[in-house]
Amino acid sequence: MIKAGVIGATGYVGTELIRLLEKHSDVELKYITSKSYVGKSYDEIYENYRGVFDMECHEQDIEKIADEVDVIFMALPHGIASKEIDEKILEKAKVIDIGADYRISDQEVYESWYNTEHGSPELLKEAVYGLCELKREEVKKTRIVANPGCYPTCSILSLSPILKEGLVEEDSIIIDAKSGVTGAGRSLNIGTHYTECNESFKAYGIASHRHTPEIEEQLSEVSGSDIVLNFTPHLVPMNRGILVTAYAKLKSPKSYEEIKAVYEKHYGDEHFVRLTKEGIFPETKWVKGSNFCDIGIKVDERTNRVIVVGAIDNMIKGAAGQAVQNMNIMFGLDEKSGLEDVSIFPG
Amino acid sequence: MIKAGVIGATGYVGTELIRLLEKHSDVELKYITSKSYVGKSYDEIYENYRGVFDMECHEQDIEKIADEVDVIFMALPHGIASKEIDEKILEKAKVIDIGADYRISDQEVYESWYNTEHGSPELLKEAVYGLCELKREEVKKTRIVANPGCYPTCSILSLSPILKEGLVEEDSIIIDAKSGVTGAGRSLNIGTHYTECNESFKAYGIASHRHTPEIEEQLSEVSGSDIVLNFTPHLVPMNRGILVTAYAKLKSPKSYEEIKAVYEKHYGDEHFVRLTKEGIFPETKWVKGSNFCDIGIKVDERTNRVIVVGAIDNMIKGAAGQAVQNMNIMFGLDEKSGLEDVSIFPG
Amino acid sequence: MIKAGVIGATGYVGTELIRLLEKHSDVELKYITSKSYVGKSYDEIYENYRGVFDMECHEQDIEKIADEVDVIFMALPHGIASKEIDEKILEKAKVIDIGADYRISDQEVYESWYNTEHGSPELLKEAVYGLCELKREEVKKTRIVANPGCYPTCSILSLSPILKEGLVEEDSIIIDAKSGVTGAGRSLNIGTHYTECNESFKAYGIASHRHTPEIEEQLSEVSGSDIVLNFTPHLVPMNRGILVTAYAKLKSPKSYEEIKAVYEKHYGDEHFVRLTKEGIFPETKWVKGSNFCDIGIKVDERTNRVIVVGAIDNMIKGAAGQAVQNMNIMFGLDEKSGLEDVSIFPG
Amino acid sequence: MIKAGVIGATGYVGTELIRLLEKHSDVELKYITSKSYVGKSYDEIYENYRGVFDMECHEQDIEKIADEVDVIFMALPHGIASKEIDEKILEKAKVIDIGADYRISDQEVYESWYNTEHGSPELLKEAVYGLCELKREEVKKTRIVANPGCYPTCSILSLSPILKEGLVEEDSIIIDAKSGVTGAGRSLNIGTHYTECNESFKAYGIASHRHTPEIEEQLSEVSGSDIVLNFTPHLVPMNRGILVTAYAKLKSPKSYEEIKAVYEKHYGDEHFVRLTKEGIFPETKWVKGSNFCDIGIKVDERTNRVIVVGAIDNMIKGAAGQAVQNMNIMFGLDEKSGLEDVSIFPG
């Protein structure tokens, strides 16, 4: 049994982690912490756990927790984890940080986009960007994983194969992304007040969203050349799910079959990446509640562009689920352990 | 391993059954049938199963299926199951009918409310009304279970204890119930067209809904006297969940503690019935995706009424989940097998 | 032209008032105030007014405003208006208070349910409870109107006729009410955070909601005997609309036609109360965006109860619209002025 | 008074037309037709009209109607209007066709994208594409207006200024569009069944939607060169509203101020096109229920792209509202007549 601690267990990502870890047959939850609910039993905060899980929330004493667990999941706002984690912690326990602090390898880029100081830049080199399908081998060996952002997970998985193969123009990429409201977390905000976002649709963070440099760094690495792209997130009036519609110009005309073959080569053996059949495209409902990333492609001969549509559950493959997948890889478990659920439909 | 067949696998209740049975560790799904999708693979119909479950849908040949399975789940519109099931089938396999055909013991009452002929009235006596918490011992021994309706499950569980104990006036009961739209099934209908029911709320079937005699029969049996009540269902613009608000007049004043004690006596050992703490009331989100029925009570001294609020997931405790719970009881399995999930929140 | 001021113009009720008054052909908006947005232009706060209405929000100096307008609308949280209004104000301008301060005639009852001191009890006698269809003559003559609460408007209109005629047992009344989320206002709250109330349904304020004494006082007056009843509000995941399902026991059996005749007698000449045909019941979508109250009735011979279903738009007939209707009456205008819109459907 | 007839009055566009025409002070509705509801009173079909508008639906006898009205609005599925309209009709009444039949000037292009024969190709030359802000002068003089599609209205208004001025590369345009579900109409369809599209998000018609050639033709005319672009519509789980996020590559770097100036030059005098301030972008809620098109722009210096966000109410500026605006222009009325409403918020 892997002993696990969750730091920040009462945010939305935290509660999704609790749900996945609680039913993971190889994991024993030892410690959960919360800033707002110290001393409270978990089922008083999240009543779905009524009569099922009543562990008490503790203060966030990471050193102490590291003594008692094998793996620490950090589900905190950006800027905090990097001030808590250091060599001493990593000598005792593996860390999976679901926040943004270790996702960007260049300290300066991080600090300028996130407008905060990095607390442990010396660990940036060791931290592995845990997009499992791309970095499986590195994840196996590392002590610290930077769990990818929700939009980046879906965007990078959608575009990697054609960039890796050098099929599209590097400066032609546009990622138009749409997310359900859980992506904004549980903190109160006028923009996520029910009557302000229900029955409405909007873009936000246009040409300025913090997931942009994260996506660009990974796609640059994949393609071997500097990728600068447009990323536009939108807010969908629904609880969960991300859909990415990505556009890229083909360097030379290719057929649907040729492009499909490239995706199959890259993802044919991947359990959690599912390619749709020709003419079928992902919808968020089919992945909601699961760790899958569904991908569909279209080649538009009129414009010589590839349009790739990707879908994930932002809370699972885009956060807690991928964190568990990373844990599975780090500890040599079956990668699918604890992540077997398909979407509950209609759900 | 219990071999199972599902008749009507492609409706909403059918697909929820598939989901629960597929991950049930003691069950092997052997046969699924569909009226509309014969010959199609399951993941073409429900794309959440992409790459996960591609069993082919067969025609509905119940005799043949009965030869090959231990239990048959029927998820059909009312009036059909009773024409398919007979002694010969029951000699080969146990049957759990999720439709309405065997829920009402009096053939005439059934036929007048459902406006159809019953196909096998000779089985009405043997069929057990499978509200597990009330009929566990009978379910253990029967070959055929009438799985309760969604509204009745929530209504009867909410009101049984005080009626059993004779605490409330038998003619004072009002059940004001609210359901998500999955309750209306997958058949196209102007009332469940997205833009017709989104952002609106309505009552329907006022003083005429078919679940009325089902609730009355069970509550009459529990209380030992004839119950005639008002039941009013409403449509909530959301996918899943039922909330019941039930009102009853106390025969003599009782305190909250006294009434609570009655509920604890009845449900204290029940895993799937959860009583909320004083001042806390059920919300559908806390049970959605789970087999729980949450119940909260209020004693209003001003009016001398008890108000009971109950909540279930209409597709699980109100349909497929309770069917699996009945199967677990019939086959001597742990009653919780395959039903361990808590609600995915926010989901 | 009637000169009007709106105190509290930037809450949800305030903005609905602005919308209605802005297009009212007999009204000139002179002053708007806001606690949070002093100095801001209205279209910066509510962008639907972009390029259309850019009046500046002022501080709440009621004396000064009273000097310049004919009527003051107060759209404030309870407890504030009664401390601002006094004889001096009323000598200068008529007041329509959309808050709760003057709705309950008994100061003690108000103070115990609202847990605050009343600021001007001397005005309670003069204030008219502005449920237009019941109090039209009093509204014509008063200087101060207490605009009814949203739930009370729908509940009282639904039940008045049968209570007035003495047809139902006074202690048998149950009002099960459901409201969209605008009823909770614009203040941030975990309960109205999008992902907390979307896709869920709950009851709240069971046997303790502040609209209870308001409903009871008015129905007692109508019926001529003390009414004590159960009122249970619920939260519906939608923006607007209230549906009330009310139950009452008939003193002696009556047919649908007899009860319908009573409603027609009371509301036959009312423009804003619409009776549905037999077998048809109100849905919130048909009144959303309008000042109508739709009412449908059912007589259940099995239980000898009348079930009355009423629907309003909580922001219009339940707040700002009825306030305008009261103004129309107070100033001798056509009661329908500025309130001609039907529901935008699907909206 | 302008006498008007509405052909196809009971679809969603039809009912929106009825709502707008009914309250238009210069219009008298003389005739309404319906395929499904002949002989029915309008308030039986759409109950928001209960007690307000009970005109009877007639059969679709266009010749007869043309004799009695000044203008005929056609709200029919594509392919029908062009078979009904001919020179004889146009001699008697003006026609505003809200369907697709006259939107594309090239008969062959129309027939290949719509897969049907055109019924009156001889009228294609006379028909004016009624995007009012671009074609006002032509609309004034024509007898027949092709009312633009919903997506094209928003897309063309968003992109015209920069194409007109030749600022962006003609082959760089990507239009990623999102629409509420009313866009799919009232016909029953599994894709718009409540529980199938609620809480989900998807793309559809990728690189194949029929609005593509319509957008391309108009933008080509505006820019003076052949535009071939990518247009991808998506379905948002909400009733109303379209948001367009459009991307185009600048030919040479331009500042935000320079681009903004171009939009102000084009739309500065337009009542129904509203430009947002820097850093503010349109949201569908601010235009819902109104005839406005809100436009916001962003210049991304990193990628040298302009990102334009446009929002309309698909049923109003995208259909019935623009039809009324066209009527106002054709008959020399104030263009804003009957279109004064701002969005009801929260609505």
Residue type at position C163: L
Q: Nearest CA of chain A to the CA of C319: how many Å?
A: 17
A169 domain-assigned: yes
Looking at the partner chain, which of A188, A197, A239 has a beta carbon nearest the beta carbon of C190?
Answer: A188
* C-beta atoms surrounding C48 within 10 Å: 25
How far apart are the CA of C211 and the nearest CA of chain A, in angstroms? Answer: 22
Closest C-alpha among C104, C216, C117, C106 to residue C160: C216
DSSP code of C147?
Answer: P
Q: Are the C-beta atoms of residues A146 and A129 closer than 8 Å to each other? A: yes
* D17 to chain C, closest Cα gap in Å: 11
Q: Which pLDDT belongs to residue C293?
A: 98
Confidence bin at A84 (pLDDT 50/70/90): very high
Which residues in chain A are closer than 8 Å to B240, comparing Cβ atoms? 346-347
- What the block records as the tokens of B309 is 């609020």
Give the closest of C202, C230, C347 to B305, CB-based. C230
Chain D residues within an 8 Å CB radius of A236: 201, 236-237
Question: Cβ contact (<8 Å) for D230 and A303?
Answer: yes
In angstroms, the first-to-last Cα distance of chain A is 32
pLDDT band, very low/low/confident/very high, at A138 (cuts 50, 70, 90)? very high
Output the CA angle B336-B338-B343, nearest 5 degrees: 85
Report the chain A residue with the minimal C-alpha distance to residue C237: A194
Burial D289-299 (b: 16+ CB within 10 A, else e): bbbbbbbbbbb
Report the C-alpha gap between A107 and A104 in whole angstroms: 7
> Helix or strand or coil: residue B289?
coil
The pLDDT value recorded for residue D97 is: 98
Q: Are residues A120 and A239 in the same domain?
A: no
Q: How far apart (Å, rounded) are the C-alpha atoms in residues A345 and B19?
A: 9
Whether residues D120 and D239 fall in one domain: no
B170/B118 same-domain check: no
Tell me how far apart the alpha carbons of residues B77 and D241 are, in angstroms, rounded to a whole number. 37
**pLDDT value of residue A101:** 98
Catalytic residue among B150, B154, B197, B293: B150
Please give the angle made by the CA atoms of D75, D77 and D81, to the nearest 5 degrees: 70
Alpha helix (H) residue ranges in B203-255 = 211-223
Interface size A-C, in CB pairs within 8 Å, comes to 54
Residues of B in contact with C288 (CB under 8 A): 199-200
Q: Residue C344 and residue D289: Cβ atoms within 8 Å?
A: yes
Backbone angles phi, psi at B6, to 5 degrees: -120, 120
Q: Are C234 and C176 in contact (CB under 8 A)?
A: yes
pLDDT at B207: 98
Determine, for residues A194 and C198 on separate chains, whether the beta-carbon distance falls below 8 Å: yes
Number of inter-chain CB pairs under 8 A, A vs B = 85
> Min CA distance, A125 vs chain D (Å)?
27
The owner of tokens 């063309």 is D156
State the burial class of residue A123 (Cβ atoms within 10 Å of its Cβ: 0-12, 13-18, 19+): buried
Residue C297: φ, ψ to 5°: -130, 155
pLDDT, one tens digit per residue, over A249-275 is 999 999 999 999 999 999 999 999 999
Low-confidence ranges of chain C (pLDDT < 50): none
* Residue of C10, C45, C193, C201 to mutate, interface with A, max A Cβ within 10 Å: C193
User: The domain containing residue B208 runs over which residues?
Assistant: 151-312
pLDDT at B85: 97
> How distant is the Cα of B50 from the closest Cα of chain D, in angstroms?
16
Q: Distance between CA atoms of C11 and C318, rounded to whole angstroms?
A: 15
Which residue in D has a C-alpha nearest to residue B189's C-alpha? D188
Statement to judge: residues C299 and C167 lie in one domain? yes
The shortest C-alpha distance from B85 to chain C (Å) reads 33
Mean pLDDT of chain C: 98
Main-chain dihedrals φ then ψ at residue B262, nearest 5 degrees: -65, -45
Please, where are the H alpha helices in B182-255?
Answer: 194-197, 211-223
Beta-strand runs (E) in chain C? 2-7, 27-33, 71-74, 94-97, 128-129, 144-146, 174-179, 202-203, 230-235, 242-249, 273-275, 293-300, 305-312
As a whole number of angstroms, the distance between CA C312 and CA C244 comes to: 9
- Whether C344 and D182 lie within 8 Å, measured CB to CB: no
Tell me which residue in D48, D276, D343 faces C342 most closely, judged by beta carbons: D48
Q: Say what the pLDDT of residue C97 is.
A: 98
- Flag if D12 and B195 touch (Cβ within 8 Å): yes
> Do A183 and A303 have their domain in common?
yes
Return mean pLDDT, chain D.
98
CATH at residue A47: 3.40.50.720
Q: Is C346 a domain residue?
A: no
Query: What single letter denotes the amino acid at residue C59?
Result: E
Q: What is the pLDDT of residues D253-268, one digit of tens each?
A: 999 999 999 999 999 9
State how far the Cα of D70 lies from the Cα of D89, in Å rounded to an integer: 11
Sequence-separated (6 or more) residues with CB below 8 Å from residue B257: none
The answer to whether the CB atoms of C207 and B303 lie below 8 A apart is yes
Same domain, C239 and C92: no
A293: confidence class by pLDDT, cuts 50, 70, 90? very high
- With respect to residue B142, please indicate whether it lies within any of the assigned structural domains: no
* Contact (CB<8Å) A190/C190: no
D158 and D284 within one domain: yes
Task: Give CA separation, B55 vs B5, B15, B289, in Å.
Answer: 12, 12, 24
Residues of A in contact with C188 (CB under 8 A): 188-190, 193
pLDDT on residue C143: 98
Question: B12 CA to chain C: closest CA distance, Å?
Answer: 18
Average confidence (pLDDT) over D117-146: 98
* Nearest-CB residue to B342 (from A49, A294, A346): A49
For residue B233, give the chain C residue with the closest CA. C245
The reported pLDDT for the residue numbered D173 is: 98
- The rounded mean pLDDT for chain B is 98
Secondary structure, 3-state, chain A = CEEEEEECCCCHHHHHHHHHHHCCCCEEEEEEECCCCCCCEHHHHCHHHCCCCCCECECCCHHHHHHHCCEEEECCCCCCHHHHCCHHHHHHCEEEECCCCCCCCCHHHHHHHHCCCCCCHHHCCCCEECCHHHHHHHHHHCCEEECCCHHHHHHHHHHHHHHHCCCECCCCCEEEEEECHHHHCCCCCHHHEHHHHCCCCEECCCCCCCHHHHHHHHHHHHHCCCCCCEEEEEECCCCCCEEEEEEEEECCCCCHHHHHHHHHHHHCCCCCEEECCCCCCCEHHHCCCCCCEEEEEEEECCCCEEEEEEEECCCHHHHHHHHHHHHHHHCCCCCCCCCCCCCCCCC
Please check whether residues A185 and A288 belong to one and the same domain.
Answer: yes
Quick one: pLDDT at residue B152? 98
At C133 the pLDDT is 98
What is the structure's pLDDT at D15? 98
Q: Is A198 a member of any domain?
A: yes
pLDDT of residue C256: 98
Residues in chain B with CB shorter than 8 Å from the CB of C240 are 199
Mean pLDDT taken over chain A: 98
What pLDDT score was predicted for residue C110?
98
Residues forming beta bridges with residue A305, ordered by sequence position: A249, A300
Residues of D in contact with B199 (CB under 8 A): 239
Tell me which chains share at least 3 CB pairs under 8 Å with chain D: A, B, C
Kindly identify which residue of chain B lies nearest to residue A342, measuring between CA atoms.
Answer: B48
ipTM for this model: 0.98
- The model's confidence at residue B275, banded by pLDDT at 50, 70 and 90, is very high
Asked whether residue C121 is domain-assigned, the answer is yes
Q: Has residue C295 been placed in a domain? A: yes
The reply to whether D156 and D262 lie within a common domain is: yes
Residue D117, pLDDT score? 96
Contact D264, D275 (CB under 8 A): yes
In a domain, D140, yes or no: no
- Of D52, D240, D286, nearest to C47 by CB-CB distance is D286
CA dist C133 and C160 (Å) reads: 10
Query: Tell me, what's the pLDDT at A339?
Result: 98
Across the interface, whether the CB atoms of C238 and B198 are under 8 A apart is answered: yes
Residues D206 and D308 grouped into a single domain: yes
Q: Which of left, alpha, beta for C2 (phi over 0: left; psi -120 to 50: alpha)?
A: beta
CB spacing of D309 vs A283 below 8 angstroms: no
Is there a single domain that holds both residue A280 and residue A229?
Answer: yes
C197 contacts A194? CB cut-off 8 A = yes
What are chain C's partners, defined as 3 or more CB pairs within 8 angstroms?
A, B, D
CATH number at residue B285: 3.30.360.10
Say if residue C297 is in the same domain as residue C224: yes
Q: Is residue C77 part of a domain?
A: yes
pLDDT of residue D109: 97
Contact list, D194 vs chain B (CB under 8 Å): 181, 192-194, 197-198, 237, 239
Count of structural domains, chain B: 2
Tell me whether strands C174-179 and C242-249 are parallel, antiparallel or unpaired.
antiparallel
Do the chains contact at C292 and D341, CB–CB below 8 Å?
A: no
Does residue B35 sit in helix, strand or coil? coil
